[in-house]
Structure 1
């Protein structure tokens, strides 16, 4: 039991410390998340649908996981759009089609790896606007992710221009109070393990 608690405590501390350490050294995060809703659409709507997208950048691969549910219409398409003029606002052209999205459903999950080093991964118009090469598309996309000006959008038959969308942003860095809470929790775990040993 003590070993399990120690491993859990170490995992919790590591998961919080790595992003904070990276930021303190000026290294940008490689994880971005979005909560897509109808009210976040460029023309807001009252769809009860939601999606939670997690996007991890690993080298030239973009790993996308996006469960969605509660859509009013059935899915016809989904994309990552890039790049708005300001974080969280405006509309942008399609940059990355989310090929393989389950079509004709109101609930589901999209999970895929987008190969950003390949020209065919990008929408042709976006690729052309970034110099016509995957390198230009990649650099533009990475800058947009860092700036919060790229978003996921799920399109349905009811809302062909987009039923739900969410801007991709870096997860928040823990506040000092959260660090104190973590330290207290770790101390408690240590104390439990120590008492059980006696």
Structure 2
């Protein structure tokens, strides 16, 4: 199994172990054509985000490969004016997710945030939603549920963002499906990468 598939499997596995029953789960496939402005990067990524406003838990898992430039930042933006389109300011901590792998073109990331803490949010996002973490959580949850939030990865080659994907609601898998999901994310990424190479 190549390094790309190991990173993807690790990210999917970590989320599956940490997702809570009450968390809403969202997924995204990150590509250059989905960025704004769109680009032709061969990079690809997968993100799984679980958010539970009641327990103040935000779980972020990302795997990526094939970037054209070294990574410089990653975060979730919210909330665009319409689902699956447009741009928005950064919602999560700035200047990047804490501990996100920097200066690499392939990698994996997993972190859990306590969204009752102001440090989990971009100060501008907090300010624009009443200045409270409760206001930020409410707006963020609504943006996720409406398909108006996206995760992207910025690089030195594409400072505005090399790959991104809008987060969409994912059905909660039954326990028997968890192992298949862990295998499925890497397979989907591999197939998408092969299709883009053939195009």
TM-score by structure 1 length? 0.71
Give the 3-state SS of the residue equivalent to 1:138 in structure 2: helix
1:73-104 C-alpha deviation (Å, 9 max, x unpaired): 00000110000011110000001032211100
Task: Give 1:144 deviation, angstroms.
Answer: 0.6
Q: 1:55 aligns with which of 37, 49, 54?
A: 49
Structure 1 CA distance, aligned partners of 2:82 and 2:171? 19
Structure 1 CA distance, aligned partners of 2:57 and 2:83? 23
TM-score by structure 2 length? 0.71
Given that residues 23 and 50 in structure 2 are in contact (C-alpha distance below 8 angstroms), is that contact kept between their aligned partners in structure 1? no
Which structure: larger Rg? 1
- 1:31 paired residue number: 25
- In structure 2, runs of 5+ residues without a counterpart are 1-20, 174-199
Structure 2 CA distance, aligned partners of 1:29 and 1:135? 16
Given that residues 29 and 170 in structure 1 are in contact (C-alpha distance below 8 angstroms), is that contact kept between their aligned partners in structure 2? no
Q: 1:91 aligns with which of 84, 87, 90?
A: 87
Give the 3-state SS of the residue equivalent to 1:94 in structure 2: coil
Q: How many residues are matched?
A: 149
- 1:194 paired residue number: none
Let me know the Cα RMSD of the aligned residues: 2.0
Given that residues 25 and 172 in structure 2 are in contact (C-alpha distance below 8 angstroms), is that contact kept between their aligned partners in structure 1? no
- In structure 1, runs of 5+ residues without a counterpart are 1-21, 23-27, 175-198
